[in-house]
Structure 1
């Protein structure tokens, strides 16, 4: 069955059977209320964080980090097609209205090295995150064997409205820096097709990566015996158009997230350390229940996420239930020290009934990660590698067709 991109699908999609087990539905009926949806500790975690994760945000201009946000940088509302922003609110983004003028001034950006100041600010956080990750501490304080990774993501940093924001201040961009600092932030990684194409044609050709393509389904399961956790089942498609599950693992832990607003570009940067946890030993009975769920999935390109389940088949063994499905069509470009992932993502969240499609570009900094995993880490060599990678990002990923969301 051919894959149909989300934007070309018919609006009259078949009604998706509820993935919620009958016992939960009965409980829901008894406790029905008309208020807003409440999050509880029993809901599966879409993102799992390590114990005491590192969070950071800062901004950088053409000559390095600024003492204060320049007057040419405005905070303006934008429209985002994301489930996170479907309640009528509009996120805000930082926009530099002086980029064109600055670029036209001779010598204005010649010799500027913003990546050096970024490397200096993030180095300690990355080293600390790897040390904590190698220790294997989970989100609940337990210890486990993990494999940490360092990845760069590209998109736009979004700011939530703050009580001190006013319509007049937004019109002029006159928002105090302290308000921007305190505003809740999120990272929007859905990039335009033009940006993705530019990365393929420009950065990839210059960097000389080897290419391979993958078509993967992820089925994220909740586990009644482990509230707040989530199990990721990685699947390919067999010749008979059924899923072939080839890996079962806990969702990765996020150890460190550093978001960087790049004031002279319309593309922002996220540096993230995450760790893949060693899968727990599962009994034959547990694997049988998980496999039963995967085997009952129906591949359907006309529904969001690309998968659906017959009525009553989206839970198994009274323990596992389907909560999220992802369909990723990925092009991977492999180099000696870097791995670039360009993917078309189609996702559906059964717990909220929302889905979205996205184009995403991730750069796995494999060489730095391997160095940091060594027993005796030579800090100076890692620092040099980090500076070189950040310069490459500034040359090929932030300057490749800047865009606004």
Structure 2
């Protein structure tokens, strides 16, 4: 029998991270050069965090749209058990640390580009690694993708506008906690300075599922995150942070939308502003999901970099609620997950296929 290369072999399981086909090799080469976002929130991972990576490509010539959608939904069977386990671990961790009243679990799907990190110079196969530390996810999407979502996916899935808002997100560090980030959400006061209305720590991830979509322009990241409120922020700390924000002025003509006093970020009793982001976001909702479309203008003082991004996040509310119940019906979770992945596939299909 003549030798058949791995990427041309017929696989029983069409959703698999094992092979490394030529089509992915080409995409990896593009994605390693793709401009990653420079303004990012630090992310902490739970001790038992679960990481998965899947590859989706057409294995049958001229596969129909319905066949492709059905095969995509097989991911539900692959991640259902891990999802349930991740929720159980997350809930136990919050109970053990008495965080149940101060943390909120959130299940989301984001669209963008999976960026593979080169380990060292060599064959393209050296880009692929199972560990999430060897890949990152850029959430910037083309304007055309958002336009197609608004004209196609939003009407077909019966989304309606729920909320429109404009905020400034300011990331602050303290010298005593160099690896922690305080994320402050702010509105603009009449004098042009900022007023903080919410503060929390960086998100805490329990599950990350990356899906490389070979025949699409975009990939998908599926995440279970714990949003941690700043329950330890004292009145004095709030006062120190607000004094810094009082000295910052909103200016739409500059990078990040804010200007610093004396040309550098202010500091107050060990607190320092190191990244800012002006966010315009529209949230849509239907019976089971929320959809957030945002545009950000961010500036990092730490790296001296600036970037404008557009992002799309699908918030899986119903599944999130179901998985936090005491006695979970696994069959019900799987069906809800299939429905959600069907919607995600419809969103991905809004973008033109690779040519």
Taking structure 1 as the reference length, what is the TM-score of the superposition?
Answer: 0.71
Q: Which runs of structure 2 are paired with 1:145-164 in the superposition (5 Å)?
A: 145=100, 146-163=103-120
Structure 1 CA distance for aligned equivalents of residues 181 and 193 of structure 2: 23
1: distance between equivalents of 2:213 and 2:93? 33
> 2:67 and 2:37 mapped to 1: Cα distance?
42
When normalised by structure 2's length, the TM-score is: 0.80
What is the number of equivalent residue pairs in this alignment?
319
Per-residue deviation, 1:355:
1.6
Identify the structure with the greater helix proportion: 2
Pick one of 233, 237, 249 that aligns with 2:200. 249
* Unmatched tracts of structure 1, length 5 or more: 1-60, 85-93, 167-174
Task: Please tell me whether residue 181 in structure 1 is matched to residue 132 in structure 2.
Answer: no
Distance (whole Å) between structure 2 residues aligned to residue 279 and residue 204 of structure 1 = 34
| Deviation string, structure 1 residues 193-224 (Cα, Å, up to 9, x no partner) | 10111111111111222212110101111022
- Tell me if structure 2 keeps the 8 A contact 1:164–1:179: no
Q: 1:129 and 2:79 equivalent?
A: no
- 404 and 243 in structure 1: CA distance in 2 versus 1, 3 angstrom threshold: farther
CA distance in 2, matches of 1:163, 1:132: 35
Structure 1 residues 164, 195: CA separation in 2 closer, same or farther (over 3 Å shift)? same
Change (3 A) 1:185 1:341: same
Q: What is the root-mean-square deviation in Å for CA atoms of aligned residues? A: 3.0
Residue 35 of structure 2 aligns with which residue?
A: 81
Change (3 A) 1:136 1:236: farther
Aligned match for 1:393, one of 332, 344, 348: 344
Contact residue 157 and residue 261 of structure 1 kept, 8 A: yes
Query: Once the 2 structures are TM-superposed, how far is the Cα of residue 328 of structure 1 from its aligned partner?
Result: 0.8
Would the alpha carbon gap of residues 226 and 142 (structure 1) be closer, same or farther in structure 2, given more than 3 Å must change?
Answer: farther
Change (3 A) 1:224 1:404: farther
Structure 2 residue matching 1:181: 3-state secondary structure: coil
The aligned counterpart of 2:317 is 366
Structure 2 CA distance, aligned partners of 1:224 and 1:360?
31
Matched, 1:111 2:87: no
**Does residue 194 of the first structure (1) align with residue 139 of the second (2)?**
no
